[in-house]
């Protein structure tokens, strides 16, 4: 009797182990037998621009040209099921509750900068796009890149039709309006990219600050409080000393968009959450990421470099040629392009200049 007991004690766990081993093996074999549906980043491998049936029934009856509420996010979720839409555009007084960015240093979060941000946000007092745009139930946004591909295409009036026109860094408007439009809702900038001549700023746009290093927050505080600029050693080129904007017209871009673009969307090296070789997305891709979370429809223009035309201009406002582009230490242009091409191919975003 005792011996059979012992035998049972040994046999039962063994049977359980064998069963577990067998079933997990089967699961594995099953997994191997199927072709993976998603790539490493979690994007659907088979991308086509077609609307799924539920999106057709949702948007099919809208009158032609009407803004489609939630369209970009819905299409994004089809090709990238991990997508979670809510992510505020700008930091507000509750920024410490943004758990995904609290534990990262700039540029992927705001750790170590909390007090200076409190200071800044107390002065700006405004954390949205402004009453008129915040009230819109459906927003169409366009991100205007600085690419030479925008030149001589007369897209200005089409760009002006968007509710939110986003421009980057020093991209000029005056003198180029036929091609780039007249309207600027947001100008997203880091210190080295900011317009340096006050008279070059357009009349009314929000100055949206995007930080790439801790020092950048100090610069922003000096700009907001109109202080004399001090401590410029850490910048990689000269920076603006004065920004002709009231504190109420300044915003801090949520650093989550840099983090998500780098690590989730493009798949750049994590480097323990620190800035490292080739793991910083370009500002244009950061802006597109922001728009996917905050706009109902998203378009872009002036994006993409065509390396087959080295003599074409790099920027629409300069004569610097494409061939001048250098291998970048911070960005990974080719990996970034793969991500943007997924968005275009699946019609998540519309590329007006077709350069992506």
* Residues in 141-170 that interact with ligand NAG by CB under 6 A: 148, 151-152
- If binding is defined by CB under 6 A, does position 335 make contact with ligand NAG? yes
Cβ at position 304, least distance to ligand NAG in Å: 14
Cβ at position 59, least distance to ligand NAG in Å: 7
Cβ at position 41, least distance to ligand NAG in Å: 12
- If binding is defined by CB under 6 A, does position 58 make contact with ligand NAG? yes
For residues 308 and 325, what is the distance between their CA atoms, to the nearest angstrom? 13
Strand residues in the chain grouped as ranges (E): 140-144, 164-168, 186-189, 206-209, 250-252, 297-301, 349-351
For residues 149 and 131, what is the distance between their CA atoms, to the nearest angstrom? 34
- If binding is defined by CB under 6 A, does position 294 make contact with ligand NAG? no
Nearest CB to ligand NAG, comparing residues 291 and 301? 301
Q: What distance separates the 2 farthest-apart alpha carbons in the chain?
A: 98
Using Cβ positions, the residue closest to ligand NAG within the complex turns out to be 278
Binds ligand NAG by CB under 6 A, chosen from 332, 342, 343, 344: 332
Write out the two tokens for 219: 């610069």
How far from chain centre, in Å, is Cα 62? 28
Sort residue 309 into left (φ over 0), alpha (ψ -120 to 50) or beta: beta
- If binding is defined by CB under 6 A, does position 61 make contact with ligand NAG? yes
Closest by CA position to 121, among listed 215, 205, 224, 191: 224
Place of tokens 């169409």: 140
- If binding is defined by CB under 6 A, does position 355 make contact with ligand NAG? no
Closest by CA position to 192, among listed 138, 142, 239: 239
Cβ at position 91, least distance to ligand NAG in Å: 29
* Residues in 233-262 that interact with ligand NAG by CB under 6 A: none
The binding site for ligand NAG (CB under 6 A) comprises 57-58, 60-61, 148, 151-152, 277-278, 313, 332, 335
């Amino acid at each position: 009797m005792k011996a059979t007991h012992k035998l049972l004690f040994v046999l039962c766990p063994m049977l359980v182990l064998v069963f577990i081993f067998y079933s997990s093996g089967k699961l594995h074999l099953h997994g191997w037998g199927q072709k993976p549906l998603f790539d490493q980043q979690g994007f659907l491998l088979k991308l086509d621009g077609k609307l799924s049936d539920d999106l057709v029934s949702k948007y099919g009856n809208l009158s032609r040209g009407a803004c489609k509420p939630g369209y970009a996010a819905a299409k994004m979720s089809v090709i990238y099921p991990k997508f979670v839409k809510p992510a505020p555009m700008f930091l507000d007084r509750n920024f410490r509750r943004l758990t995904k960015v609290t534990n990262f240093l700039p540029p992927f979060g705001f750790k170590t900068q909390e007090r200076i941000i409190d200071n800044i946000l107390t002065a700006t007092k405004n954390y949205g796009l402004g009453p008129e745009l915040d009230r819109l139930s459906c927003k169409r946004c366009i991100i205007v890149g600085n690419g030479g591909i925008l030149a001589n295409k007369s897209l200005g009036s089409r760009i002006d039709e968007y509710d939110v026109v986003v421009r980057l860094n020093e991209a000029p408007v005056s003198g180029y309006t036929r091609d780039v439009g007249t309207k600027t809702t947001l100008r997203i900038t880091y210190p080295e990219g900011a317009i340096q001549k006050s008279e070059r700023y357009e009349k009314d746009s929000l100055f949206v600050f995007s930080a790439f290093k801790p020092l950048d927050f100090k610069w922003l505080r000096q700009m907001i409080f109109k202080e004399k600029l001090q401590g410029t050693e850490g910048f990689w080129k000269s920076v603006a000393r004065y920004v002709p904007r009231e504190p109420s017209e300044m915003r801090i871009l949520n650093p989550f968009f840099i983090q998500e673009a780098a690590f989730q969307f493009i798949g750049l090296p994590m480097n323990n959450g620190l800035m490292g070789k080739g793991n910083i997305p370009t500002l244009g891709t950061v802006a597109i990421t922001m728009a996917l979370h905050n706009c109902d429809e998203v378009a872009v223009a002036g994006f993409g470099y065509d390396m087959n035309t080295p003599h074409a201009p790099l920027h629409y406002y300069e004569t610097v040629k494409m061939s001048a582009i250098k291998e970048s230490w911070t960005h990974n242009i080719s990996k970034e392009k793969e991500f943007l091409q997924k968005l275009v191919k699946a019609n998540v975003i519309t590329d007006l200049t077709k350069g992506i």
